[in-house]
Chain A
Amino acid sequence: MTGQPMVKAEGVHKRFGRQEVLKGISLEVRSGEVMCLLGPSGSGKSTFLRCINHLEKINAGLLSVDGELVGYRPEGGKLHEMRESEVARRRAKIGMVFQHFNLFPHMTALENVTCAPIYVKGTAREQARARAVELLDRVGLADKLDAYPAQLSGGQQQRVAIARAQAMEPRLMLFDEPTSALDPELVDDVLQVMKQLAAEGMTMIVVTHEMGFAREVADEVVFMDGGVVVEAGPPRELLDSPRQERTRAFLSRVL
């Protein structure tokens, strides 16, 4: 299933003011692969995820998605910052799921899923609706089409958010701690949907603390700490016999 590199990072640096959050991240995610990012809070996992779809600008290094640089256009041997509309067009091909769902509260579940295809892609309303019904059905919410986010549980909201991201037919999905804000009994429904996506061959980068999910679904697990990649490898290797002391210390605390 794996093929061309979908995401490629080389020495990515990110600073917020004086604080350096990413200190040279290099990694590669191949098409069809699932990568799980682990690490203590403040290790830069979420920031790195946000850099991939240019919600944050990187300060140094190279970052490309599907063979194209993120946010910059090479021209005449120099890098030029992309125009906003161009950045938006690239982002449309990358789905993102947030820790706090970030559903649009003034829209129903159905409208949340149809809005981006209609406004961004110019899809006809009827067509967008039909597709949204199908996507919501697949995440088990066919009976909640007209519910507003406030009327849904956290797990249901997160599944709507996944359907909303899928509606744009992304080539890559980013998950930023998708189950961290959920009550324990709601976590499984969301993980189930994510497993299904992975099985369908979606390329995914998942920041998570769900070790079971990482072990079962991930092709590669990356452990980050203090803005650097400490260790990376297949889940069994990294989770069962970590080579680095920092990884071992972290795992012993979460497992």
Chain B
Amino acid sequence: MLVLAAAVIRSVVTNGRFEWSVVGDYLFDSRILHGAVVTIELTVIAMAIGIALGVLLAVMRLSPNPLVSGASWFYIWFFRGTPLLVQLLFWYNIAALYPTIALGVPFGPSFIHANANTLITPFTAAILGLGLNEGAYMAEIVRAGIISVDEGQADAAQSLGMTRLQTMRRIVLPQAMRVIIPPTGNETISMLKSSSLVSVIVVTELLYAGQLIYSVNFKTIQLLIVVSFWYIVFTSVLYVGQYYLERYYGRGARGQPLTPLERLRIGLMAVRRGQS
């Protein structure tokens, strides 16, 4: 195994066609960095919408009111049933369907008018497409978390006089988080990368920024390496964030391991004590 790995590394390093210097040149190129920022923005905003929507849809789905749970079921069915790429293109072209968008009372007067073409920029279309789609997936993840909490918890909360929503917010959801976080980390990583799909609706995110450069200088592989490098950096940061979030929501559980930082500190203290 080690020999094989060494051979691969040697070939990657010595093969001149990789042109590692070109990779270095573009790693911190302002266009690439700008694209990276857009990718982060897309991921953060779309995930925020997705999580908020997911919690709402999951609570609705578990409502005793069939109209409410039915609406949630329909949403999830629809958004999971159509490809994300199609949804993105749909939002991008929404102006063809509704040239003006107005906010107001249904069938009544409206307060705000806007031209759909100016309101729905490629960036908002991307946010809508990614966020609304993510909401459907997050809904199922949150629902799984809620179902995993022992029913006795809701009994106890309600016997203390909490309403269904209070019980959900204060008692059930905080406990559901332990089950919700790992797949949500998965979703965030997946979102980080599927945000590259929005290059089709001309949003200059990380991948599209790279494509724009290599379409001029033809250093395709080098720029794809640059782009991959940043994706891996962001994913690694997410790993750390998820680790600490899991610890926070795992409080009260038996046998919480120490964090690497705590272990380091204890190790250093032991070394110092050994010296003195």
Partners in one complex: yes
- Are B161 and A120 closer than 8 Å at their CB atoms? yes
Tell whether A230 is near chain B: CB-to-CB under 8 Å: no
- Given A91-B161, A150-B253, are A55 and B153 also a contact pair (CB < 8 Å)? no
Q: Which of B150, B156, B157, B163 has the most CB of A within 10 A?
A: B156
B84 at the interface (CB under 8 A from A): no
Smallest Cβ-Cβ distance to A104: which chain B residue? B171
Are B155 and A92 in touch, CB under 8 angstroms?
Answer: no
Q: Which residue of A lies closest to B172 (CB)?
A: A104
Interface size on A, residues (CB 8 A): 35
Q: Contacts A98-B155, A98-B156, A106-B175 hold; do A116 and B253 have CB atoms under 8 A apart?
A: no
Contacts of B163 in A (CB 8 A): 84-85, 88
Contacting residue for A102 out of B155, B162, B252, B253, CB 8 A: B155
Instruction: Known A106-B175, A119-B170; judge A92-B252 contact (CB<8 A).
Output: no
Measured in the bound complex, the distance between the Cα atoms of B164 and A229 in whole Å is 33
In the bound complex, how far is the Cα of B156 from the Cα of A165, in angstroms?
Answer: 9
Contact status B253-A91, CB under 8 Å: no
- A190 contacts partner chain B, Cβ-Cβ < 8 Å: no
Q: Which residues of B contact A50 (CB under 8 A)?
A: 155
Chain B residues in 8 Å Cβ range of A148 = 251-252
Interface membership of chain A positions 40-78, coded 1 if the CB is closer than 8 angstroms to chain B and 0 otherwise: 000000000010010100000000000000000000000
Determine if B86 is an interface residue (Cβ-Cβ < 8 Å). Answer: no
Instruction: Pick from B150, B162, B164: contact of A116, CB below 8 A.
Output: B162
Chain B residues near A164: list those with CB within 8 A. 160
Residue of A nearest to B166 (CB): A119
Interface pair A119/B159, CB less than 8 Å apart:
no
In whole angstroms, what is the CA distance A108 to B159 when docked? 19
| Nearest CB on B from A57, distance (A) | 11
Q: Which residue of B lies closest to A85 (CB)?
A: B163
Knowing A119-B166, A119-B170 are in contact, say whether A105-B161 is a contact too (CB < 8 A).
no
Query: Which residues of B sit under 8 angstroms from A96, Cβ to Cβ?
Result: 155-156, 159
**Which of chain B's residues has its CB closest to A117's CB?**
B160
Asked if A95 and B159 sit within 8 Å, CB to CB, the answer is: yes
Q: How far is the CB of A7 from chain B (nearest CB, A)?
A: 15
Decide if B185 is an interface residue (CB 8 Å cutoff).
no
Separation of A119 and B158 alpha carbons in the complex (Å): 12
- Taking a contact as CB atoms under 8 Å apart, the answer to whether B155 and A88 are in contact is no
Assess the B252–A106 pair: CB atoms within 8 A: yes
Decide yes or no: A168 and B156 within 8 Å by CB, A105-B175, A148-B252 being known contacts. Answer: no
Given known A102-B153, A106-B175, contact A165–B160 (CB-CB < 8 A): yes
B211-251 contacts to A (CB < 8 Å): 249, 251
The smallest C-beta distance from A149 to any residue of chain B, in angstroms, reads: 7
- Whether the Cβ atoms of A55 and B159 lie closer than 8 Å is yes
Enumerate chain B residues within 8 angstroms of A209, measured Cβ to Cβ. Answer: none
CB pair A116 B161 closer than 8 Å: yes
- The reply to whether A115 and B170 form a contact with Cβ atoms under 8 Å apart is yes
Which A residues between 76 and 119 are near B, CB-CB below 8 angstroms? 84-85, 88-89, 91-96, 98, 100, 102-108, 115-116, 119
Shortest beta-carbon distance from A99 to chain B in Å = 9
Could you give 11 example pairs across A and B, Cβ below 8 Å?
A55-B155, A84-B163, A89-B161, A96-B159, A102-B155, A106-B251, A116-B162, A119-B162, A120-B166, A148-B251, A168-B161
- Residues of A whose CB lies within 8 Å of any CB of B are 50, 53, 55, 84-85, 88-89, 91-96, 98, 100, 102-108, 115-116, 119-121, 148-151, 161, 164-165, 168
B residues in contact (CB < 8 Å) with A: 150, 152-153, 155-164, 166, 170-171, 174-175, 249, 251-254
